[in-house]
Structures are given as structure tokens and as C-alpha cells.
Amino acid sequence: MFTNNYLRQRFNLPHVSLMFGLTVGLALIFFSSCKKKQIIDKGEFSPEYSAINDSVSRLNTNKKEREAIIYLNTKYSQLSNPTLSDRLQYYRSHFMYSKKISRDRRQELLYSDTMMMLAGKFTDLKQYVYNTADANFAKGDAYFDLNQYTSAYRYYYEGYVLGKNYLDNSLLAEYTYRMGMVSFRQSHYNLAANYFKESFAQSSAYRDDFRAFYQRQELLNDIGESYLNAGNTDSAALYFNKTLAFINKYNNRFKDIGYRLDIARAVTWGDMGRLMSDKGNYVEAQKLFQKSIGYDLRKSYDNYDAELVEADLADLYLKQHQLKPLFSLLQDLHRQMDTVKNLGALTAWNRLMSAYYVENKDYAQSLAYYKSYSELKDSLSKLDLYIKETDINQQLANYDKQYQIQALKDNNQLEKTFLYVAILVGIMALVILLLVVRNWGRSKRDLKAISELNQQINSQKNDLEATLEELKVNSQEKDRILRTVAHDLRNPIGGIVSLTNVMLEDGYTDEQKELISLVNSTSSNTLELINEILEATNHKIGKSNKELVDINLLVSNSVEIMNFKAAEKDQNIVTELLDTPEMLLVSRERVWRVISNLISNAIKFSPNGASIQVKLISNDKEVKICVSDKGIGIPDNIKENVFNMFTDAKRPGTAGEKSFGLGLSICQQIIENHNGKIWFESENNKGTTFFVTLNKPAA
């Protein structure tokens, strides 16, 4: 969870060491003329990508989403040096395509993970906060679409915390909109209406463009629909009229894409038709339904919504016993669903066909359609049951309590330090007092040799205990100082790596680039050592939250990220996944780190152009992960020590990469804490295969 303390440590320059401050100062002097760095920090697109993005937006606006994504892939591959914002927007576009068009939930989750990774690289605080919150919302949406609601709410809440702490209403509007949709799905319609109202008020912070207009009119309609489902017809009518007035206000501004405004109106007309039907005004309801259908059935309009409104109109015909137009409409609807699949409309169609044949006293036909209706309704009910079983208010309250506890821990850190100092002073005062008492007692027993001897023994015993206690305290203090120093050095050195990476891409002389490259490689090696020291000194490595994770997705994600590193050595990672998804109860982050570390080692110790294989094998009780390479192998004389912490069994990679001897020890601790096993088979100069087994959850 993102806390204020974390952001202060990441972005507040006065808290870092003097050496880092001097280094950054020199780097900024060297780099002040580089416009590309400014673009990255400000979160701006490169001019080339801006043109691409404009074309993609036009294609999407004209309902040509597939052509848009193909065009984006082609043009993006031709960019020589995309900025960080270019890359983030590229993956954001793919995320939206997977969510809205292809509905590929696995790809949706993978793209949200990549968005999260890229958002964390922004060095400007404002851009970091906005993009990280946006990535959290995206990841929450992906988990929501996968029906993993607990994970979805957690990521929604993390995005909300960032928006709340930095008073960003545009982020808060995204959060409250999602809470409204969740509440609506759970049939808490009055609560949903309140969320939508709050989101509409916050959405005034949106940038003034078509996307903001469209989302705001949608929020007004959502408020009306929530009230309609709650039975508050007067409030529903008020907000439906507000929606139409809001759309009409923007007629002239968006006249070039007026059909999008027509689609929005058609949705509202359909909802108003339901309102009139509920009030018993069937004539007006029929007009509104037909008006909505007439617009939405057009090519490139919202045919999906049109089918739902047709089902509502058919219900209206049934109420009035107008069987001829009812049957004709149901025939048209059935033909349309051959092209546009719509589970909700299909369910209603079977119910209406059953009712139609009841009216015609054909009970055999009616029963057949009713059976189909019951099966479809059960499918829809099961989908709704997952979300309705989740107590979102309790979960959000739990997240809020966790956040408050973490904030209290951060704010009380200084008080704890003072407390430790006070305890240490008290112990020292007690030791001094004991020494005074001991000496006073010794002066009274000068004539008793045995007593003096016993006193001397007791004194030595006390001294020894004090010394042992002091050694214990010193050992703990050493670990604390080591973690603190490593933690304080990690961010500044990471900054050096980022700065020098960008500097290497600019037009410096060969001699300057050689010096910058030396600083870059030294800083990278130092950063890797610091990360491994932090892992090695973390006594709580085994304590982590576990959740059901698809091992196929986890391995695919690791390989996708490590492909960038393998490409630096022209290597190829071959993946062989399980035929079907397999859910394991593990810590996603910890196991991901093990897989990435094993692949990283395979890359490090394999020659350029080599092939690395990552394979999953499943049996009744466990899943085995195999990472194989054809690299330099592990000599027999160091095989027994490769899993030891701070081992001497370490060698440079095939391209001179540094090795610190901590990674495999950490991997072993993580796997053993999952009750799994890790081992390897290796032959010198022929390659190595690491094996990891993880138990399947009990049935």
C-alpha cells in the first residue's frame, strides 16, 4: 500500500545522502540541455507518438477499434526511441482494447501489470501519483473482470489513497465511479446513486474534452437508472432529463461526431421508456423505446443496447396482449443476436417466447423456451452471486484500517527512536547504580575474604551478562543500521542509474560516454548488491499475503518482463505453459521474484544468442517449474554452496555481469516458506536446470 512516507523517501531530495546530492548536482549541470529528459519527467508524448495517438483516437471514435490497434502496433514498432509516456500510453491502449473489444481477461491483467511497472519509473511526483493511481484502477478493473473481487477492491483502494492524499479529484472521480458500478451490480441502488453523484461532482476536475463530457453524461444517466431500480421514479425522471439537457448543451461543440451524442441519447430514451412503463404510461413508453431502438440499430451504433431495449419493448407488447407485434419483434431480435451476442437479451427473449406461446395456449412450445430461459437465468445468477457475496464496505473498512495503522507506524518512527534511546540510558543508569551499590557493599566486607571472593564472582557474572546483553543489542543495531544504510542508498543510486541511462542516449563524445558508462555499470552493480542485502537482512521474508494465482499468467508475466533483459544478449526465452489454467495459493510477488531470479541467472550465465527454456509440469499434487539453459554450468567444487547466504560460490556472467551470491539463498527461503522445494542439475560448460515445486491447494 502506498504511504506518504514512501513517497517522501522516493522524491524528497534533502533526505538523501550528501554523496548522492553532489552526484545529482553534477548530473543536472551536465544534462540541463537535454529536452528528452524533460519530456519524460513532465509525462509528455514525443511529437512522433502524439501524431500516432491522434490517428488512433480518430479510428476509435469512428468505431474502427481493430484497425486502430493494428495501426498502433505498426507505427509504434517504427519509433526509434519512445519516451516513458509513449510506452505507458501504448500499453494503456492495449489494455482498453483487451477490456472493451477482445475481452481477453488474461491479456487485460498482463497489460495492467506492465502499466504498473512503467508508472513506477516516473521521476516527477505529480506524474508518478497520477499514473500509478491510474494503473491501480486498471489492475482493479482486470481483477474485477476475472471475478477476483477481493484483489480488485484492494487495487481500487490504493488508487483512491493516492488521489485522496494529493487532493486529485480526477482520480477520486474514477474511484467513486467504480464504487458506484460495484454497488449497482450488488443491487444497492441508493448507495450507487450517491457514489455516482459524488463522482459527477469530482469529475469537474477532468480535462475539458470529449472523454470528460461523455463520462459525465453517463454518470447523470447512471444516477437516474439507479433511482429507477430503487423505485424512486421522480428522482429518476429528474436525472434522465438532466442527462438529455447536458448532451444537448454540447451539440455544436461535438457536431463532427454527433452520432456519439445520438448513441448517448438513445440509451437515456430507453431508460425513460422503462420509467414510463413502470408508471403505466404505455403509449409514451412505446414511443421512447422505438425512438431508442431506431437510433441504436444503425450500423456502428450501440446495437447491444438496442437489443436490451427491444426486449423491454417486447415486454410492453406482452403487457398489452399485442401478440402480433410481439412475435414480429421477437423474430427481428433473434436475427440480430446472431450477429451481436447478448446474454441478457437472449435470456429475456426465451422468457418472452415462452410467454407468447402461453398466450397462444401452445404449452409444449412454451415449456421448451421456459427451460432455456431457466438455464440462462441460472448462468446470469451465478455471475451476480460472486459479486453479491462480497461485502465491499467491510473490505474497504479493513483496507482503511490497514492504511491508518501503517500511517501511524510511519508517524511514530521518531518517537520509537527516542524511546529506544531512553531505554538505553535507563539501562546504563541502572548499571552505574549497581556498580555503586556493589562497591559500597564491598567496603563493609573488607575483613571477610570469602565474602569478598563471592562478591568478586558475582561481579564478574554481572559483567559477563551485561557484556552478552550489549553484544546482543549491538548485533541488532548492526542489522538495523545495515538495512537503513542500504535502504537510504538504494533510491539515490537508482537515480544515478536512470540519469546515466538517459545520458548515454545523448550526443556526448566517446570519451564522455565511456566515463558515463563506467558510472552506469558501477551504479547498477551497486544497486543490485543493495537490493540483495536488503533481502538477506529481512527477517520476515516468509511472512507474506497469499492468494490464488494462475501460475500460467505469473510465469508469462515474468518471461514477458525478462525478455527485455534477454534481448540485450540476443537470447531467446522459450515458454511451455500448462494446457489449462492452474490456480496456486501463493504470494504472487514472492514467487514472481523466484521465477524472475532463476531466468535472470540463466540469462547471466548463458552466451549471446543462446536459448533459455521455461517449462511448467503438473501432476496430482504439485506444479513443477523448470528453468533450463545451455550456459557455462556450475562446477562440482561449488555446487554444495550455491544456496548459502554470502557464499563464495559466485562467478561473473558471460558478459562480465556481477554476482553477489545472495539471490539463490533468498529463492530457497521463499520456496521453503511455501512448503515447496528447489534444486538444480548442472554439468560444467553444458548448462544448468533449476527445478521448483509448489503444492496445489487442498480440494
Residue 72 pLDDT: 93
Residue 223 pLDDT: 95
Residues 420 and 343 in one domain: no
Residues 376 and 412 in one domain: no
Residues 389 and 433 in one domain: no
Domain of 564, in residue numbers: 547-695
Cβ neighbours for 329, distance < 8 A, ≥ 6 positions apart: 310, 313, 314, 317
Radius of gyration (C-alpha) of the chain in whole angstroms: 33
Residue 356, in any domain of the structure = yes
Residue 237, in any domain of the structure = no
Strand partners, 627: 614, 690
Domain CATH code at residue 112: 1.25.40
Question: How many Å separate Cα 693 from the centre of its chain?
Answer: 26
Quick: pLDDT tens for 174-203: 888 888 888 887 788 998 899 899 899 988
With 0-12 / 13-18 / 19 or more C-beta atoms within 10 angstroms meaning exposed / middle / buried, residue 373 is: buried
Residue 246 pLDDT: 93
pLDDT at residue 24 greater than cutoff 50:
no
Residues 111 and 150 in one domain: yes
Residue 31, in any domain of the structure = no
Residue 232, in any domain of the structure = no
Residue 274 pLDDT: 93
Q: What is the mean pLDDT of residues 656-664?
A: 71
What confidence tier does 284 reach under pLDDT thresholds 50, 70, 90?
A: very high
pLDDT at residue 305 greater than cutoff 90:
no
Residue 401 pLDDT: 63
Residues 313 and 413 in one domain: no
Q: What is the mean pLDDT of residues 353-362?
A: 91
Quick: pLDDT tens for 133-175: 889 989 988 888 887 877 888 888 888 788 777 767 888 888 8
Angle between helices 449-504 and 413-444 (to 10 degrees): 160
Q: What is the mean pLDDT of residues 661-679?
A: 86
Residues 56 and 153 in one domain: yes
Residues 607 and 525 in one domain: no
pTM of structure: 0.50
With 0-12 / 13-18 / 19 or more C-beta atoms within 10 angstroms meaning exposed / middle / buried, residue 499 is: buried
Residue 542, in any domain of the structure = no
Last residue of a domain, one of 157, 173, 192: 157
Quick: pLDDT tens for 311-336: 999 999 999 999 999 999 999 888 88
What confidence tier does 478 reach under pLDDT thresholds 50, 70, 90?
A: low
What confidence tier does 5 reach under pLDDT thresholds 50, 70, 90?
A: very low
CA-CA distance, 129 to 122, in Å (whole number)?
A: 9
Domain count, the chain: 4
Quick: pLDDT tens for 109-127: 999 999 999 998 998 888 8
Q: What is the mean pLDDT of the chain?
A: 81
CA-CA distance, 86 to 46, in Å (whole number)?
A: 7
Residues 439 and 326 in one domain: no
Residue 529 pLDDT: 63
pLDDT at residue 407 greater than cutoff 60:
no
Quick: pLDDT tens for 60-101: 877 788 899 999 999 999 999 999 999 999 999 999 999 888
Select the more confidently predicted residue: 377 or 403.
Answer: 377
pLDDT at residue 650 greater than cutoff 70:
no
Residue 536 pLDDT: 60
Residue 115 pLDDT: 93
pLDDT at residue 399 greater than cutoff 70:
no
Residue 572 pLDDT: 93
Select the more confidently predicted residue: 150 or 248.
Answer: 248
Residue 324, in any domain of the structure = yes
Last residue of a domain, one of 394, 419, 436: 394
> Dihedral of CA 668/669/674/676: which sign?
positive
pLDDT at residue 38 greater than cutoff 90:
no
Ordered DSSP codes for 368-396: HHHHHHHHHHHHHHHHHHHHHTS-HHHHH
Last residue of a domain, one of 339, 359, 394: 394
Residue 75 pLDDT: 92
Domain CATH code at residue 572: 3.30.565.10
With 0-12 / 13-18 / 19 or more C-beta atoms within 10 angstroms meaning exposed / middle / buried, residue 12 is: exposed
Q: Percent of the chain at pLDDT above 90?
A: 34
Residues 327 and 428 in one domain: no
Residues 303 and 383 in one domain: yes
Q: Strand 687-695 vs strand 677-683: parallel, antiparallel, or unpaired?
A: antiparallel
Select the more confidently predicted residue: 307 or 258.
Answer: 307
User: Of 86-100, 209-223, 373-387, 542-556, which gets the smallest average pLDDT?
Assistant: 373-387
Residues 529 and 554 in one domain: no
Query: Which residue has cell 555481469?
Result: 657
Select the more confidently predicted residue: 556 or 419.
Answer: 556
H or E segment to which residue 692 belongs:
strand 687-695
pLDDT at residue 358 greater than cutoff 80:
yes
Residues 346 and 296 in one domain: yes
Residue 11, in any domain of the structure = no
Residue 169, in any domain of the structure = no
